[in-house]
Amino acid sequence: MCGIAGLIHKGKSSNVGGEMTAMLQALKHRGPDSTGYAVYGKPTEGDYIMRLKVAEAEDMHKGRGIHQVIVDRIAAVEEILAEHGAAVKSKESVTEYALRFVLSHEGDTSAMAEHIEETDGVEILSMGNGLELIKDLGDAADVAGLYGLENFEGTHSIGHTRMATESDVDIRSAHPYWAFPYNDVSVVHNGQITNYWIMRREMERKGHRFMSNCDSELLAVYTAHNLANGITLEQSLRNSIEEIDGVFTYLVATKDQLGMAKDTMAAKPLVLYESDDLIAMASEEVAIRAILPQEIDTYDPYDEEVRVWQA
- Tell the smallest beta-carbon distance from residue 235 to other proteins (Å): 22
- Tell the smallest beta-carbon distance from residue 38 to other proteins (Å): 24
Question: In this structure, are residues 310 and 40 in contact, taking their beta carbons and an 8 Å threshold?
Answer: no
- Tell the smallest beta-carbon distance from residue 18 to other proteins (Å): 18
State the Cα–Cα distance between residues 232 and 225, nearest whole angstrom. 11
Of 94 and 267, CB closest to other proteins: 267
- Tell the smallest beta-carbon distance from residue 264 to other proteins (Å): 8
Q: How many alpha carbons lie under 13 Å from residue 79 in its C-beta half-sphere?
A: 9
Interacting residues toward other proteins by CB under 8 A: 264-266, 269, 271, 284-290, 293, 295, 297-300, 302-303
State the Cα–Cα distance between residues 30 and 185, nearest whole angstrom. 24
Q: Decide if 2 is catalytic.
A: yes
Q: Which of 2, 133, 188, 251 is catalytic?
A: 2
Query: From the centroid of its chain, how far is CA 128?
Result: 12
| Cβ-Cβ contacts under 8 Å for 158 (sequence gap 6 or more) | 4, 5, 6, 20, 37, 38, 176, 186, 187, 188, 251, 252, 253, 258
Of 92 and 300, CB closest to other proteins: 300
Query: DSSP secondary structure string, 71-91?
Result: HHHHHHHHHHHHHTT-EEEEE
Distances 284 to 83, 169, 270 between C-alpha atoms, Å: 47, 23, 7
Residues with active-site annotation: 2
